[in-house]
Structure 1
Amino acid sequence: MSSEEVFNRIAVLRAERGISRRDLATALGVHYQTVGYLERGEYSPSLYLALRIAEYFEVPVEVVFSLKPFPRLGSRS
């Protein structure tokens, strides 16, 4: 694991709301492939983009992004 790895819940948030990668990309003003790179952890967003993503989903930024892996849904810790 890279010390600069950033984990995210973008795919989960999109799925919960029925939003396509393309729709999210259009709303954010980025290429739809960028959303895929973000979801797979192949690209870390700028602070500006991270804040815009959180604002789009109407959640705090730490709900979307973390420096530690998110617990699996349904797991108890």
Structure 2
Amino acid sequence: MTQVSTNIRAARDVGRAGLAKRVFLGLSVMRQRRQLVELDDRQLRDIGLTAEQARAEARRSAWDVPQSWLR
């Protein structure tokens, strides 16, 4: 019985760590997208984006990220 409860506790801790990781990822993505729309036209050209593309990216949800980022 001790082994089962230990395994459940370990799985719950991993779940919490995964949740915390996703929250921090979402906050980071929000910050980056907010900064993207603050770039001027010259800076946007340097990274190969138009102002409209930057605005479109900024409108995306914080959770709308590539699946590989969630691993």
Q: What TM-score do you get using the length of structure 2 for normalisation?
A: 0.32
Is the helix fraction higher in 1 or 2? 2
Structure of higher CA gyration radius: 2
Is the strand fraction higher in 1 or 2? 1
Q: What TM-score do you get using the length of structure 1 for normalisation?
A: 0.30
Higher relative contact order (CA 8 A, sep 6+): 1
